[in-house]
Amino acid sequence: MFARVVWLVLRKDLMVEVRSLEIVYTTLFFAVSCVLVFAFALVQEGRPPADGAAGILWISIAFAGTLALGRAFERERQSETLRALLLAPAARPAVYVGKLLGIIALLVAGEIVLVPLVALLFQAPLLLRPIWLAVILVTGTVGFAAVGTLFAAMLVRARSRDVLLPVLLYPITVPVIIAGVRATATLLQPDVDGEILRFWLALLVCFDIVFVTLALWTFEPLMTD
Protein backbone atom coordinates (compact mmCIF):
# COMPACT_ATOMS: atom_id res chain seq x y z
CA MET A 1 0.00 0.00 0.00
CA PHE A 2 2.83 2.40 0.97
CA ALA A 3 4.75 1.79 -2.26
CA ARG A 4 1.55 2.04 -4.33
CA VAL A 5 0.70 5.46 -2.89
CA VAL A 6 4.30 6.63 -3.43
CA TRP A 7 4.07 5.51 -7.06
CA LEU A 8 0.63 7.12 -7.58
CA VAL A 9 1.76 10.49 -6.19
CA LEU A 10 5.05 10.39 -8.11
CA ARG A 11 3.38 9.41 -11.39
CA LYS A 12 0.73 12.10 -10.94
CA ASP A 13 3.39 14.78 -10.28
CA LEU A 14 5.39 13.74 -13.33
CA MET A 15 2.26 13.65 -15.52
CA VAL A 16 1.27 17.16 -14.39
CA GLU A 17 4.80 18.40 -15.07
CA VAL A 18 5.00 16.75 -18.50
CA ARG A 19 1.72 18.51 -19.43
CA SER A 20 2.71 21.95 -18.17
CA LEU A 21 6.56 21.88 -18.20
CA GLU A 22 6.22 24.83 -15.86
CA ILE A 23 8.76 23.81 -13.22
CA VAL A 24 11.26 22.38 -15.71
CA TYR A 25 11.31 25.58 -17.78
CA THR A 26 11.42 28.02 -14.85
CA THR A 27 14.06 26.17 -12.84
CA LEU A 28 16.24 25.47 -15.87
CA PHE A 29 16.03 29.07 -17.03
CA PHE A 30 16.90 30.28 -13.55
CA ALA A 31 19.76 27.80 -13.04
CA VAL A 32 21.29 28.43 -16.47
CA SER A 33 21.05 32.22 -15.95
CA CYS A 34 22.75 31.80 -12.59
CA VAL A 35 25.65 29.81 -14.10
CA LEU A 36 26.02 32.32 -16.96
CA VAL A 37 26.17 35.30 -14.59
CA PHE A 38 28.84 33.55 -12.49
CA ALA A 39 30.77 32.70 -15.65
CA PHE A 40 30.75 36.31 -16.86
CA ALA A 41 31.73 37.56 -13.41
CA LEU A 42 34.43 35.07 -12.49
CA VAL A 43 36.04 33.77 -15.69
CA GLN A 44 38.74 36.31 -16.52
CA GLU A 45 40.56 36.05 -19.86
CA GLY A 46 39.43 32.47 -20.24
CA ARG A 47 40.81 31.45 -16.83
CA PRO A 48 38.16 30.21 -14.38
CA PRO A 49 38.75 30.52 -10.62
CA ALA A 50 40.33 27.47 -9.03
CA ASP A 51 37.69 25.18 -7.42
CA GLY A 52 34.96 27.62 -8.48
CA ALA A 53 32.98 25.09 -10.54
CA ALA A 54 31.91 22.94 -7.59
CA GLY A 55 30.54 25.90 -5.61
CA ILE A 56 28.74 27.37 -8.61
CA LEU A 57 27.18 24.03 -9.53
CA TRP A 58 25.78 23.57 -6.01
CA ILE A 59 24.60 27.17 -5.64
CA SER A 60 22.69 26.83 -8.91
CA ILE A 61 21.16 23.55 -7.74
CA ALA A 62 20.14 25.07 -4.40
CA PHE A 63 18.58 28.19 -5.96
CA ALA A 64 16.79 26.25 -8.68
CA GLY A 65 15.69 23.65 -6.13
CA THR A 66 14.09 26.29 -3.94
CA LEU A 67 12.18 27.58 -6.94
CA ALA A 68 11.04 24.06 -7.86
CA LEU A 69 9.93 23.30 -4.30
CA GLY A 70 7.86 26.47 -4.11
CA ARG A 71 6.16 25.86 -7.44
CA ALA A 72 5.52 22.17 -6.78
CA PHE A 73 3.52 22.99 -3.67
CA GLU A 74 1.92 26.15 -5.06
CA ARG A 75 0.33 23.80 -7.60
CA GLU A 76 -1.11 21.66 -4.80
CA ARG A 77 -2.40 24.79 -3.06
CA GLN A 78 -4.24 26.28 -6.03
CA SER A 79 -7.00 23.66 -6.13
CA GLU A 80 -6.46 22.59 -2.52
CA THR A 81 -5.33 19.21 -3.82
CA LEU A 82 -2.86 18.84 -0.94
CA ARG A 83 -5.94 18.73 1.29
CA ALA A 84 -7.37 16.00 -0.94
CA LEU A 85 -4.12 14.02 -0.56
CA LEU A 86 -4.31 14.38 3.22
CA LEU A 87 -7.97 13.32 3.22
CA ALA A 88 -7.19 10.07 1.43
CA PRO A 89 -6.80 6.93 3.56
CA ALA A 90 -3.18 6.68 2.49
CA ALA A 91 -0.24 6.80 4.90
CA ARG A 92 0.85 10.43 4.93
CA PRO A 93 4.56 9.56 4.92
CA ALA A 94 3.86 7.79 1.59
CA VAL A 95 2.45 11.05 0.21
CA TYR A 96 5.62 12.79 1.44
CA VAL A 97 7.90 10.23 -0.22
CA GLY A 98 5.94 10.52 -3.48
CA LYS A 99 6.31 14.31 -3.47
CA LEU A 100 10.00 14.01 -2.49
CA LEU A 101 10.77 11.63 -5.37
CA GLY A 102 9.00 13.98 -7.80
CA ILE A 103 11.15 16.91 -6.65
CA ILE A 104 14.33 14.79 -6.83
CA ALA A 105 13.43 13.69 -10.38
CA LEU A 106 12.97 17.32 -11.44
CA LEU A 107 16.24 18.42 -9.81
CA VAL A 108 18.17 15.54 -11.33
CA ALA A 109 16.76 16.48 -14.76
CA GLY A 110 18.05 20.03 -14.17
CA GLU A 111 21.46 18.72 -13.07
CA ILE A 112 21.79 16.79 -16.33
CA VAL A 113 21.79 20.16 -18.12
CA LEU A 114 23.75 22.07 -15.49
CA VAL A 115 26.73 19.72 -15.17
CA PRO A 116 27.91 19.96 -18.81
CA LEU A 117 27.23 23.70 -18.83
CA VAL A 118 29.36 24.30 -15.72
CA ALA A 119 32.02 21.93 -17.07
CA LEU A 120 32.15 23.89 -20.31
CA LEU A 121 32.08 27.42 -18.93
CA PHE A 122 34.47 26.76 -16.04
CA GLN A 123 36.69 24.25 -17.88
CA ALA A 124 36.14 21.78 -15.06
CA PRO A 125 36.65 18.03 -15.59
CA LEU A 126 33.26 17.27 -14.08
CA LEU A 127 32.51 14.48 -16.54
CA LEU A 128 35.81 12.69 -15.99
CA ARG A 129 34.37 10.46 -13.24
CA PRO A 130 30.65 10.44 -14.06
CA ILE A 131 29.62 7.67 -11.66
CA TRP A 132 31.22 9.34 -8.65
CA LEU A 133 29.73 12.68 -9.66
CA ALA A 134 26.27 11.11 -10.06
CA VAL A 135 26.54 9.57 -6.59
CA ILE A 136 27.53 12.94 -5.05
CA LEU A 137 24.79 14.83 -6.86
CA VAL A 138 22.06 12.31 -6.00
CA THR A 139 23.01 12.07 -2.31
CA GLY A 140 23.23 15.88 -2.03
CA THR A 141 19.95 16.36 -3.88
CA VAL A 142 18.16 13.86 -1.63
CA GLY A 143 19.31 15.71 1.53
CA PHE A 144 18.35 19.11 0.15
CA ALA A 145 14.98 17.94 -1.22
CA ALA A 146 14.10 15.96 1.94
CA VAL A 147 14.16 19.09 4.09
CA GLY A 148 12.75 21.29 1.32
CA THR A 149 9.75 19.04 0.65
CA LEU A 150 8.85 18.99 4.34
CA PHE A 151 9.13 22.78 4.72
CA ALA A 152 7.33 23.53 1.45
CA ALA A 153 4.42 21.30 2.53
CA MET A 154 4.32 22.93 5.98
CA LEU A 155 4.35 26.44 4.52
CA VAL A 156 1.74 25.79 1.85
CA ARG A 157 -0.90 27.77 3.77
CA ALA A 158 1.45 30.50 5.05
CA ARG A 159 0.90 33.87 3.42
CA SER A 160 4.62 34.68 3.16
CA ARG A 161 5.65 31.14 2.12
CA ASP A 162 7.88 32.39 -0.74
CA VAL A 163 10.01 34.35 1.74
CA LEU A 164 9.89 31.82 4.55
CA LEU A 165 10.94 28.79 2.49
CA PRO A 166 14.53 29.91 1.73
CA VAL A 167 14.86 31.52 5.17
CA LEU A 168 14.10 28.16 6.82
CA LEU A 169 15.63 25.90 4.22
CA TYR A 170 19.13 27.31 3.66
CA PRO A 171 20.39 27.37 7.27
CA ILE A 172 19.39 23.73 7.73
CA THR A 173 20.70 22.50 4.39
CA VAL A 174 24.03 24.38 4.59
CA PRO A 175 25.82 21.21 5.79
CA VAL A 176 24.51 19.32 2.73
CA ILE A 177 25.60 22.09 0.37
CA ILE A 178 29.06 22.31 1.99
CA ALA A 179 29.52 18.52 1.86
CA GLY A 180 28.34 18.50 -1.76
CA VAL A 181 30.74 21.30 -2.72
CA ARG A 182 33.71 19.70 -0.94
CA ALA A 183 33.00 16.25 -2.42
CA THR A 184 32.66 17.71 -5.92
CA ALA A 185 35.80 19.84 -5.48
CA THR A 186 37.72 16.75 -4.36
CA LEU A 187 36.55 14.95 -7.48
CA LEU A 188 37.91 17.78 -9.64
CA GLN A 189 41.45 17.42 -8.33
CA PRO A 190 43.95 15.78 -10.75
CA ASP A 191 44.75 13.15 -8.10
CA VAL A 192 41.53 12.32 -6.32
CA ASP A 193 42.04 11.66 -2.62
CA GLY A 194 39.74 8.68 -2.15
CA GLU A 195 39.72 8.97 1.61
CA ILE A 196 38.54 12.59 1.61
CA LEU A 197 35.96 11.85 -1.07
CA ARG A 198 34.60 8.94 0.95
CA PHE A 199 34.48 11.15 4.06
CA TRP A 200 32.31 13.80 2.37
CA LEU A 201 30.14 11.17 0.74
CA ALA A 202 29.63 9.44 4.08
CA LEU A 203 28.64 12.78 5.56
CA LEU A 204 26.12 13.32 2.77
CA VAL A 205 24.64 9.85 3.31
CA CYS A 206 24.40 10.57 7.06
CA PHE A 207 22.56 13.84 6.38
CA ASP A 208 20.20 12.03 4.01
CA ILE A 209 19.38 9.36 6.59
CA VAL A 210 18.82 11.92 9.35
CA PHE A 211 16.76 14.34 7.23
CA VAL A 212 14.58 11.68 5.57
CA THR A 213 13.95 9.93 8.88
CA LEU A 214 13.04 13.19 10.62
CA ALA A 215 10.79 14.23 7.76
CA LEU A 216 8.97 10.86 7.70
CA TRP A 217 8.53 11.06 11.44
CA THR A 218 7.25 14.65 11.52
CA PHE A 219 5.23 14.89 8.29
CA GLU A 220 2.02 13.39 9.69
CA PRO A 221 1.82 15.50 12.88
CA LEU A 222 2.91 18.65 11.06
CA MET A 223 0.24 18.21 8.39
CA THR A 224 -2.54 17.50 10.93
CA ASP A 225 -4.40 20.58 12.27
Partner 1 sequence: MTAVDFDDLTVDEVSRHFGRRRALSHISFRATRGTLLGLLGPNGAGKSTLLAMLATLLRPSAGRIRYGTHDSTTPQPALRASIGVLGHDLFLYPELTAAENLEFFAGLYAVSDPRGAAQRALELAGLTDRADDAVSSFSRGMRQRVALERALIHRPRLLLLDEPFTGLDDASGAALTKRLRELREAGAIVVLATHDLDLADGLLDSAMFLRDGRMVDVVDRPDALRSTYRDIMSRGRASSAAGTRG
Helix (H, G, I), strand (E, B) or coil at 225: coil
Q: What is the DSSP string of 72-95?
A: HHHHHHHTTHHHHHHHSSS-HHHH
159-178 b/e (C-beta count within 10 Å ≥ 16 → b): eebeeebbebbbebbebbbb
Angle between helices 92-121 and 22-42 (to 10 degrees): 40
- Residues in region 76-95 near partner 1 by CB under 8 A: 78-81, 83-91
With binding defined as CB under 8 A, does residue 159 bind partner 1? no
Least distance (Å) between residue 98 CB and partner 1? 10
DSSP structural state of residue 158: -
CA 55 – CA 184 distance, rounded (Å): 8
* Closer residue to partner 1 in complex, CB, 19/47: 19
Query: % helix / strand / coil in the chain, to the nearest 5?
Result: 85, 0, 15
| Site string (17-56) toward partner 1, x via CB under 8 A | --xx------------------------------------
Least distance (Å) between residue 22 CB and partner 1? 9
* Closer residue to partner 1 in complex, CB, 15/167: 15
With binding defined as CB under 8 A, does residue 157 bind partner 1? no
Binding residue count for partner 1, defined by CB under 8 A = 24
- Residues in region 167-186 near partner 1 by CB under 8 A: none
Choose one: 12-20, 45-53, 163-171, 204-212; the region binding partner 1 (CB under 8 A). 12-20
Least distance (Å) between residue 85 CB and partner 1? 7
Choose one: 53-61, 73-81, 137-145, 151-159; the region binding partner 1 (CB under 8 A). 73-81
Least distance (Å) between residue 142 CB and partner 1? 24
Contacts of 182 by beta carbon, 8 Å cutoff, 6+ apart: 54, 196, 200
Helix (H, G, I), strand (E, B) or coil at 5: helix
With binding defined as CB under 8 A, does residue 225 bind partner 1? yes
CA-atom Rg of the chain in angstroms: 18
Least distance (Å) between residue 91 CB and partner 1? 7
**What are the φ and ψ backbone dihedral angles of 44, each rounded to 5 degrees?**
-105, 125
Binding footprint of partner 1 on the chain (CB under 8 A) = 1, 4-5, 8, 12, 15-16, 19-20, 78-81, 83-91, 224-225
